[in-house]
Amino acid sequence: MIISGKEISKKIKEQLKVEVEEIKNKYNRLPKLAVILVGENQASQVYVKNKERGCS
């Protein structure tokens, strides 16, 4: 059996979109992403920036 990370990621994102829409309709609010970066590690900053893009 071949496991496709891209397919799994796609399914998770689709499910999250549904859950976010349910939260929006039920509570009239959107979930937020909060991040605390310690230090100035370039790789960590890139990682967080990519997460921010993914959440939008």
Backbone angles phi, psi at 4, to 5 degrees: -100, 110
Q: Give the domain ranges of the chain.
A: 5-55
pLDDT for position 54: 85
Q: What is the pTM of this model?
A: 0.65
Mean pLDDT in residue range 1-17: 93
Average pLDDT of the chain, as a whole number: 92
Task: Convert 11-35 into a string of H (helix), E (strand) and C (coil).
Answer: HHHHHHHHHHHHHHHHHCCCCCCCC
